[in-house]
Amino acid sequence: MRPNASVEKVYLYPKPVDFRKSIDGLAALVELDIKVAVFDPVLFVFLNRHRNRVKVLYRERNGFCLWLKRLESERFKTSPDEVDVLALTRF
């Protein structure tokens, strides 16, 4: 499983997310907070409060995919004062 080559952007959700949320809960956050359609060809990245887990949500032609990665002893590095959604254009 890998994202479609047509993925145009990557959105990093700025606030910690409750990782009990699954596809439907994360898709609701995207549409309500980020104001981006979940059906667009983009990746949505979410971190938990401790920044030791990341979830990536994206849509393929026949459904949604949700990836989870857990770090055992490190943390994902982010800017501590980010308050807006970060959108990265694919290179």
pLDDT in tens, 16-56: 999 999 999 999 999 998 888 888 888 999 999 999 999 99
pLDDT at 91 over 70: no
Domain residue limits, the chain: 9-89
One-letter identity of residue 54: V
**pLDDT of 88 higher than 70:** no
Q: If we measure between CA atoms, which residue out of 6, 15, 5, 7 comes closest to residue 86?
A: 15
Instruction: Give the C-alpha separation, 2 to 43, whole Å.
Output: 11
What pLDDT shows up at residue 79?
64
pTM listed for this prediction: 0.80
